[in-house]
Amino acid sequence: MAFQVSTMRHRIEIGRYVEGRDEWGDPLPNPVWQPVAAVWAAVEALTGRLYFEAQQSNIQADHRITIRYCRRVEPGMLVRHDGRELEIQAVLDRDGRRRWLQLMCREVRPA
């Protein structure tokens, strides 16, 4: 897969919400953001043919994010980008060489 590193111009944060605890060990009323990784990425909205191809599978994705390989990224995590939150629907290693990951995401909180 030929990929141009120069297109990775977006700084994103990947993480999840977890149940937080206060200093006495009691649960907090709201979940707490737990970051997993902050990486450079190529973020693109799926439009036209690519959007409809993604909709044909079980993945309800509207964004594709390409990052360098990171084994800590899993489906169900969230991506924070430009004031938005995107839920990772699928993590794809297209060429199987552990160089790049494509994250198929669905926007859950718009900017």
pLDDT tens-digit series, residues 48-83: 666 556 555 667 788 999 999 999 999 999 999 999
CA–CA gap between residue 107 and residue 52 (Å, rounded): 16
Question: Which pLDDT belongs to residue 56?
Answer: 59
Q: 41-50: long-range contacts (C-beta < 8 A, 24 or more apart)? A: 41/8, 41/10, 41/11, 41/12, 41/65, 41/66, 41/67, 41/81, 42/3, 42/7, 42/8, 42/9, 42/10, 42/66, 42/67, 43/10, 43/12, 43/81
> In the predicted model, is pLDDT for residue 3 greater than 70?
no
> In the predicted model, is pLDDT for residue 87 greater than 70?
yes
Q: How large is the average pLDDT for residues 36-53?
A: 82
Residue scoring higher pLDDT (27 or 14): 14
Question: Which pLDDT belongs to residue 62?
Answer: 87
pTM: 0.84
> In the predicted model, is pLDDT for residue 1 greater than 90?
no
